[in-house]
């Protein structure tokens, strides 16, 4: 069983899911707190899902960001680590892309001056 566990951990490292920080967490685990790493990981998923939910709730019309938030939250809820990782990377990408696009939009809006009425794009 120990060998199987070691192989699983090695696989997680080989696939890029874990790094040196995970080893550092394991080094903090001892007989007094034998489930330390599992508890930290559980808190990580709970807290990250909550934070993503907060981003989702602060929705400003960022459609692609909202879609990724919803998907990430679902992966966190089901414990799908691979889905979480992929979706989180996509969420960061969509967030950064939208931020850049809105910065340009507001720069042009300031130059254009006040708009009398909001209108929907066609």
Q: What is the DSSP letter of 33?
A: B
CATH of domain 35-112: 1.20.120.160
Whether the full predicted model's pTM is greater than 0.75, yes or no, is: no
Q: How many residues does the chain have?
A: 122
For the cut 80, the answer to whether the pLDDT of residue 118 exceeds it is: no
Residue 16: what pLDDT? Answer: 83
Q: Where are the domains of the chain?
A: 1-34, 35-112
Query: Sign of torsion, CA 110 116 121 122?
Result: negative
**Highest mean predicted confidence (pLDDT) among 16-20, 23-27, 76-80, 104-108:** 23-27
Residue 119: CB atoms within 10 A of its CB come to 7
């Amino acid at each position: 069983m120990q060998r199987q566990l070691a192989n699983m951990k090695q696989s997680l490292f080989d696939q890029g899911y874990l790094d040196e920080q995970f080893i550092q967490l394991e080094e903090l685990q001892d007989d007094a707190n034998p489930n330390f790493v599992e508890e930290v990981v559980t808190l990580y998923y709970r807290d990250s899902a909550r934070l993503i939910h907060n981003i989702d709730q602060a929705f400003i019309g960022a459609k692609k960001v909202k879609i990724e938030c919803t998907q990430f939250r679902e992966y966190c809820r089901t414990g799908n680590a691979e889905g979480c990782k992929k979706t989180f990377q996509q969420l960061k990408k969509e967030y950064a892309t939208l931020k850049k696009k809105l910065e340009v939009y507001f720069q042009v809006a300031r130059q254009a001056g006040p708009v009398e009425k909001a209108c929907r794009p066609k």
